[in-house]
Amino acid sequence: MNREWFDGPLAGFARTLVLDNARPVIPLPELLREKILDRLLLQVYGPELMPDKLPVLVSQWFKFYAMQLIPPVIVASLVQGVSWTLRLDQLAFALHERGFLDGVKFESAGLVASPSDEPFERFAPLLENLQQVIEQLSAYGSVAPGVLWSSAGDYLETCLRQLAQINGASAQIGYGLLRERLRPDGRRNPLFKAIIYIEGPDGQSVRQRRSCCLSHQVAWVGRCEHCPLTDRA
pLDDT in tens, 70-98: 999 999 999 999 988 899 999 999 999 88
Q: Domain 13-190 maps to which CATH number in 1.10.510, 1.10.3470, 3.30.70, 3.30.420?
A: 1.10.510
Task: Please tell me the pTM assigned to this model.
Answer: 0.92
Contact 72, 12 (CB under 8 A): no
Contact 202, 188 (CB under 8 A): no
Residue 125 pLDDT: 94
Contact 138, 145 (CB under 8 A): yes
Contact 210, 150 (CB under 8 A): yes
For the ranges 9-13, 28-32, 133-137, which has the lowest average pLDDT? Answer: 9-13
DSSP 8-state code for residue 182:
B
pLDDT in tens, 91-122: 999 999 888 999 999 976 667 887 889 999 99
CA distance 116 to 136: 29
Residue 233 pLDDT: 40
pLDDT in tens, 180-217: 999 999 999 999 999 988 877 787 888 888 888 777 77
Domain boundaries, the chain: 13-190
Residue 225 pLDDT: 67
Q: How far is CA 29 from CA 37, 65, 135, in A?
A: 11, 13, 13
